[in-house]
Amino acid sequence: MVLVIYAHPYPGRSRACSALLRAIGDLAQVEVRSLYDLYPDFDIDVGAEQAALERAKLIVWLHPLYWYTVPGMMKHWFDVVLLGGWAHGEGGRALEGKEVLWATTTGDAEKYALSGAHAHPFEAFVPVVEQTARYCHMKWLEPFVAHDSHELSDEALVERSRRFRQRIEARITHA
């Protein structure tokens, strides 16, 4: 069972993220939860989210990168769903052993360098999200970072989506 937690504020206008989502949409064991569609008022149903997480073996966090991290909605989802006593802390073992694949789309790859506009390599921005998963006793997989999303050709987009589908399928057969 694969659970995709999808956080794009305007899914109808997304190109890069929706291509990735479409690439795995026909897989039988994939459940997609589009947070901005489910909870436009940020009124996240914590019980429903936790139940979905409990069903899953692989959890995909899919979103465009906003200000070097997850969009506000997904941060809010971390805040209200990953609770102490459930996901971490005393008796918090609900997510133990589940795998997390962080899939994010972002802009020019060359800007992520010491001399680039963002002044850090991309790896510098990973630890916050990675540690969130690890603190909840989950297995951190190599992230799927989709750079250069603004000017990508249709062919490149198809190729990238195929690679994304392969990674998901590999985890399903692995399980």
Partner 1 sequence: MREALIFFASAVLCVPIAKRAGLGSVLGYLIAGALIGPWGLRLVSETEATQDLAELGVVLMLFVIGLELDPKRFLAMRGVVFGGGALQLAASGLVLGLGLWLVGLSWEAALIGGLSLALSSTAIAMQQLAERNELGTPTGRASFGILLFQDIAAIPLIALVPFLTHAPKPDSDPLWIRVGLAAAAIAGIVVAGRYLLRPVMRFIAKSDLREVFTAFALLLVLAIAQVMTLVGMSMALGAFLAGVLLAGSEFRHALEGDIEPFKGLLLGLFFISVGMTIDFGLLGSRPGTVALLLAGFLALKILSLWGVAQLIEICRQRWLFAFLLSQGGEFAFVVFGTAREAKLFDAEWEALLTITVALSMATTPLLLLAHDKLMGSRAKAEREPDAITDEGPVIIAGFGRFGQIVGRLLLASDLRPVVLDHDPDQVETLRKFGFTVFYGDATRLDLLEAAGAKKARLLVNAIDDVEASLALVDRVRANFPSLEIVSRARNVSHYYELKLRGVQVVERETFESALRVGRSALEKLGVDRFRAKELADAFRRHNIASVEATQPFYQDEARRMSIAKQGREELEKQFARDRERFERGHGGGGWK
CB-CB contact of 16 with 62 (8 Å): no
- 13 part of the interface to partner 1, by CB under 8 A: yes
Among residues 27 and 113, whose Cβ is nearest to partner 1? Answer: 113
Nearest 5°: CA angle at 36, between 30 and 39? Answer: 100
Q: Footprint of partner 1 on residues 61-80 (CB under 8 A)?
A: 64-67, 71
CA 74 to chain CA centroid, nearest Å? 9
* Least spacing, CB of residue 162 vs partner 1, in Å: 20
- 116 part of the interface to partner 1, by CB under 8 A: no
Residues that bind partner 1 (rule: CB under 8 A) add up to a total of 23
Among the listed ranges 60-68, 92-100, 127-135, 161-169, the one in contact with partner 1 (CB under 8 A) is: 60-68
Among residues 9 and 116, whose Cβ is nearest to partner 1? Answer: 9
* Least spacing, CB of residue 98 vs partner 1, in Å: 27
Phi and psi at 47, nearest 5°, equal -60, -45
- Listed in sequence order, the DSSP H helices in the chain are 16-24, 35-38, 46-55, 72-81, 127-135, 154-174
> For residue 171, what are the contacts with CB-CB under 8 A and spacing of at least 6?
2, 58, 99, 101, 141
- 17 part of the interface to partner 1, by CB under 8 A: yes
* Least spacing, CB of residue 172 vs partner 1, in Å: 28
Position 108, amino acid: D
List interacting residues with partner 1 (CB under 8 A): 9-17, 36-37, 40-41, 64-67, 71, 105-107, 149-150
